[in-house]
């Protein structure tokens, strides 16, 4: 959501895609809901304690300017055999997704 971070003493402004926490939460609800209906994603929940899903938004029919792929990380709820919760989600590819390459000290667009 357009936050500032400090890298090697320099402040960097990350691109803003969502205008509010509510908008972000709605986006995540839609992505999780559609991904879990898709057999390719749903089959990843096979009993392991951690599930990492790289989700292609176009495959799900979701269009968010600047984001092409989101990685969802689910953890199994303690004491449960088949209940998971969303631990984190972050964009991994798109025109508004930046990746810092430490070796070159550069920010590059991953889209």
Query: What percent of the residues of the chain are helix, what percent strand, and what percent coil, each to the nearest 5?
Result: 25, 40, 40
- Tokens representing 6 are 């400090």
| 106-109/4-7 β-pairing | unpaired
| C-alpha–C-alpha distance, residues 100 and 79, integer Å | 38
- Model pTM score: 0.77
In tens, the pLDDT along 45-104 reads: 877 789 999 999 999 999 988 899 999 999 988 877 788 999 999 899 998 888 888 888
Q: Where are the alpha helices (DSSP H) in the chain?
A: 21-37, 39-42, 57-60
């Amino acid at each position: 959501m357009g936050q500032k971070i400090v890298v090697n003493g320099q402040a960097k402004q990350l691109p803003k895609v969502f205008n509010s926490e509510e908008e972000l939460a709605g986006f995540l609800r839609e992505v999780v809901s559609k991904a879990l209906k898709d057999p390719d994603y749903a089959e990843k929940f096979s009993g392991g304690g951690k599930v990492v899903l790289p989700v292609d938004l176009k495959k799900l029919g979701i269009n968010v300017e600047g984001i092409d792929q989101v990685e969802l990380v689910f953890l199994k709820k303690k004491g449960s055999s088949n209940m998971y919760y969303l631990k984190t989600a972050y964009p991994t590819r798109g025109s508004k997704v930046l990746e810092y390459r430490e070796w070159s000290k550069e920010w590059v667009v991953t889209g």
